[in-house]
Structure 1
Amino acid sequence: MTSIAIPSGMPQYDDVPRYDVAAVRADFPILDREVNGHPLVYLDSANTSHKPRQVLDVLREHYERHNANVSRSVHTLGTEATEAYEGARAKVAAFINAPSVDEVVFTKNSTEAINIVAYAFSNASLRPDADPRFRLGPGDEVVISEMEHHSNIVPWQLLCERTGATLRWFPVTDQGRLDESGLEDLVTERTKIVSLVHMSNILGTVNATSRITARVREVGALLLLDCSQSVPHMPVDVVDHDADFIVFTGHKMCGPTGIGVLWGRSELLAAMPPVLGGGSMIETVAMSGSTFAAPPARFEAGTPPIAEAVALGAAVDYLSGIGMRAIQWHEKQLTAYALDALATVPGLRIFGPTVPVGRGGTISFALGDIHPHDVGQVLDSLGVQVRVGHHCARPVCTRFGVPATTRASFYLYTTTEEIDALVAGLEQVRKVFD
Structure 2
Amino acid sequence: MTSVLKNNDCQPKLNYLLALVCMLGPALVALVPMAVAPALPAMALYFQDVDSSDLFAQMVMTTPAIMIIVFAPISGILSERYGVRLNLLTGLFLYIVFGFSGYFISDATLLIISRLLLGLAGGAVLTNSLILIGSSFSGHHRELLLGLATSLASIFAALALIFGGNMVDTLGWRSSFMLYLIAAPVMIIAWFCVKSTPPIAKAKTAKKSNANSYSHKALIPLWPFYAVLILFTIGMFSPSIQGPFSLEMKGIHSASEKGLILSLTSICAVFSSALFGYFRRYFSSYTILLIDLFTMASGFILLSIATDTYSLGLACAIIGIGAGLSEPSIASILLDRTKIHIHGLAMGLVVSALNAGQFINPLIMNFFKSMSNIDSAFMMLGLIFSLVLFIAYIRRPTPNNRPDPLSKLA
Output the TM-score relative to the length of structure 2: 0.25
Larger radius of gyration: 1
Give the structure with the higher percent strand.
Answer: 1
Output the TM-score relative to the length of structure 1: 0.24
Give the structure with the higher percent helix.
Answer: 2
